[in-house]
Amino acid sequence: MNIRRFVWRIEFVIAIALVFILANCARANNSTQLASYTPTSVESQLTNGEPIYARTCATSTCHGTQGEGIRAGNSFSAWPLVGADFQARHPNAQIVFDVIRSGGERNLLALTDQQIYDSIAYELSQNQIILESPLTAENAFKTYGGSMSGQAQGGLFPPSDNAVLINMPFIRDLPIAVKNEGLQLQLDQIAQASTIGNAKPPAGGVFLILVVVFNDLGAEPIAVSPDHLKLSTPGGELLEPQLINIHSAIEKFHTQTIKPYYGTSALVVFTLSAPDQFDQLIYDDQAGHRLTLALKS
């Protein structure tokens, strides 16, 4: 073989390999930049959020091209994203986030948490709600306007049509969060129900309904599962989540893997022997991610 041709082929192969490596590095850098992006102004956030909202929410097969919802008789198969119904069903921006982030659609799972907040910011603008600063995880629970009440204590949002709610005993103000170096657990909603569909608790008991958020704070993906979640009682008993068919726009907690900047929201139901028989929410995956969240003051 001609030596010059052989050398040229080697150089060509090396060049192709370098192009491949650089392309992968560029994609990795772009992915990291996207994940760690934080909006610098409301205007830039709305610019970023508009195409996400249009692509993943305001479509003819989702919530209507104008966010008007998809009607089913006298109700909706997909509720509106704008107007009085939307605002009444979501007391603050974090509840909107919880509905979106709990969903299992592939296009939603591909979004970072901040991209979801960006789309919600744009959605709020379509409801004539003016933001004073960019919407983030830090301020979403306190962000509301129009007929959004801002009050989530003791309720369940969006409302469930098969859970009969009763008054909550006094608990700490929401949201409540605890974290370690790798994982954060936040409680966004807590409510009690006397019945859920055809399910009834034992005599004198109630159902405790929680909406929780997990965030990966480390550099590696973390598997989260309801198998690792327990509710302690004042007497030291550890209760497990129940498989009860509650109708909710927030999906029930299921085993999944989350990665940094991509959290998950989920609904959990426990059965209590009495309305005040709960103490702490405990998450322990036996892999170094143990969290204890005190629910009462």
Residue type, 71: R
Alpha carbons 175 and 189: distance in angstroms, whole number: 8
Mean pLDDT along residues 103-108: 85
Q: How confident is the model at residue 28 (pLDDT cuts 50, 70, 90)?
A: very low
Mean pLDDT along residues 200-214: 97
Q: What is the mean pLDDT of the chain?
A: 87
Alpha carbons 204 and 202: distance in angstroms, whole number: 6
Q: How confident is the model at residue 69 (pLDDT cuts 50, 70, 90)?
A: confident
Query: Beta strands 222-224 and 176-179: pairing type?
Result: unpaired
Alpha carbons 85 and 40: distance in angstroms, whole number: 31
68 strand-pairing partners: none
Q: How confident is the model at residue 5 (pLDDT cuts 50, 70, 90)?
A: low
Q: Look at 93 and 169; give whichever has higher pLDDT.
A: 93
Q: How confident is the model at residue 77 (pLDDT cuts 50, 70, 90)?
A: low
Determine the pLDDT at residue 74: 77
Alpha carbons 283 and 241: distance in angstroms, whole number: 12
Residue 34, SS3 per DSSP: helix
Determine the pLDDT at residue 21: 38
Tens of pLDDT, residues 220-229? 999 999 999 9
Q: How confident is the model at residue 9 (pLDDT cuts 50, 70, 90)?
A: low
Q: Which two tokens stand for residue 147?
A: 């007929």
The counts of H helices and E strands in the chain are 6, 13
The answer to which of 2-11, 179-188, 279-288 has the lowest mean pLDDT is: 2-11
Q: Which two tokens stand for residue 72?
A: 């089913």
Residue 95 belongs to what H/E stretch? helix 93-102
Q: Look at 265 and 63; give whichever has higher pLDDT.
A: 265
Examine the pLDDT at 202 and tell me if it is beyond 80.
Answer: yes
Determine the pLDDT at residue 10: 52
Determine the pLDDT at residue 243: 93
Examine the pLDDT at 119 and tell me if it is beyond 50.
Answer: yes
Strands (E), the chain: 70-72, 75-78, 163-166, 176-179, 183-196, 206-216, 222-224, 229-232, 238-239, 256-258, 264-272, 280-284, 290-294
Determine the pLDDT at residue 36: 62
Examine the pLDDT at 11 and tell me if it is beyond 90.
Answer: no
